[in-house]
Amino acid sequence: MRSPELAATVAANGSAPAPAAVDDTARAGWRTPLELTVLGAIWGGSFLFMRVAAKDFGALPLVEMRLGLGALILLPFLWKARESFRGAKIWAKLALIGLINSALPFALFAWAAQRAPAGIGAITNSMAVLFTALVGFLFFGEKIGIQRGIALLAGFAGVVVLASGKTAGASIGWAVAAGCAAAFLYGIGANLVRRQLTGLPAAAVAAATLGCSALLTLPFAVATWPAHAIPAKSWLSASMLGVLCTGIAFVMYYRLIQRIGAGRAVAVTYLVPLFGVAWGWMLLGEPLTITMLIAGALILGSVAMSQRAAK
């Protein structure tokens, strides 16, 4: 799960605390908007860190760093709930979901980060909310409704617009396709978590799936580990990606859900692409194109429409 990618799964997880635990005082104050903004900035920064580190590490070694460090940060949650994770059957489910919801999407986003600006990955990541609804409709018999159907069409229109753009004269279509494939996998993973792991603590599930994914990815990461020296800035970016954007950010998100409920916490989805584009523009000098603006507006608008329809 995600950095930004964690949001869709936790919001869909039946183990997330109910909105009844909402702190009305905090809701009315400054704490919640501040925490949502900080979390959006951190998760938006994950695409910046991937953009910096992917070219030196390569996709799979970078993903291994991210998975391993994120799992270590969340390990105390798994240890606390260890009695709920006994038996080969539950670990087989965790390994499969980890592959679908962490290892493969992380690898796709890292691959895309080698070929397109950070903002591209951040924008396509927002499609995870729409793909969660689409997967539920296609494979699990959930109703989608007219409003959510329109939202899906608008989101896909945004993807087409985004894929048609160019950066520095080069097409970014394949990077957009990789990002959308990752978002689609998040949609599958969110539905599997909701149906197969209901009742388990979300933070413990995240630790377990990240750990399983790290073990599955390890042989491929070792086989493709770069022979050249890796610059310090890439080591720092990879560390921040795993520790801050995957481990610490998920703890923040889980606690936010406990206080304000999943329905309100998922609002961070709208901030991630804004920060992803902004960080790339401010810190890496990446261009902010008309195509990105139009596509981002279409995709974020469709996500907002889908969320309203779901409520």
Return the pLDDT at 21: 45
Average pLDDT (277-305) is 90
Mean pLDDT over residues 1-25, rounded? 48
Mean pLDDT (whole number) for 229-247: 97
Say how many domains are in the chain.
1
**pLDDT confidence tier of residue 112, bands split at 50, 70 and 90:** very high
- Say which residue the tokens 């927002």 belong to: 126
* pLDDT at residue 127 is higher than 50: yes
In 3D, which of 103, 70, 120, 106 has the Cα closest to residue 245? 70
Inform me whether the pLDDT recorded for 122 exceeds 90.
Answer: yes
Report the alpha-carbon distance of residue 112 to residue 264 in Å, rounded.
30
Decide if pLDDT at 83 tops 90: yes
Question: Can you tell me the mean pLDDT for 66-86?
Answer: 95
Nearest to 216 by CA among 68, 113, 81: 68
Chain mean pLDDT for the chain: 87
pLDDT in the model for residue 40: 93
Which pair of structure tokens corresponds to residue 205?
Answer: 């599930």
Q: What is the pLDDT of residue 166?
A: 74
Mean pLDDT score, 186-193: 92
pLDDT of residue 85: 94
Query: Regarding beta strands 170-171 and 166-167, do their DSSP bridges make them parallel or antiparallel, or are they unpaired?
Result: antiparallel
* Residue 303 CB-half CA count within 13 A: 26
Quick one: average pLDDT of 250-272? 81
With a cut of 50, say whether residue 56 has pLDDT above it. Answer: yes
Query: Rounded to whole angstroms, what are the CA distances from 204 to 52, 81, 168, 210, 214?
Result: 30, 7, 43, 10, 15
pLDDT for position 14: 44
Please give the share of the chain, as a percent, with pLDDT higher than 70. 88
What local confidence, expressed as pLDDT, does residue 90 receive?
95
Find the mean pLDDT for residues 192-220. 93
Six-digit token string for 270: 């709208």
Return the residue matching tokens 């087989």: 92
Owning domain of residue 149 = 3-310
Of 163, 177, 173, 175, nearest in space to 114 by CA? 175
Q: Which pLDDT score is estimated for 310? A: 66
Taking the CA atoms of residue 5, residue 156, residue 133 and residue 14 in that order, the dihedral angle to the nearest 10 degrees is 10
Q: Kindly tell me if the per-residue pLDDT of 190 is higher than 70.
A: yes
pLDDT computed for residue 114 by the predictor: 95
Token couple for 42: 């951190």
What is the Cα Rg of the chain in Å?
A: 18
Q: For residues 215 and 25, which has the higher predicted lDDT (pLDDT)?
A: 215
pLDDT value, residue 234: 97
Residue 11 to residue 194: CA distance in whole angstroms: 9
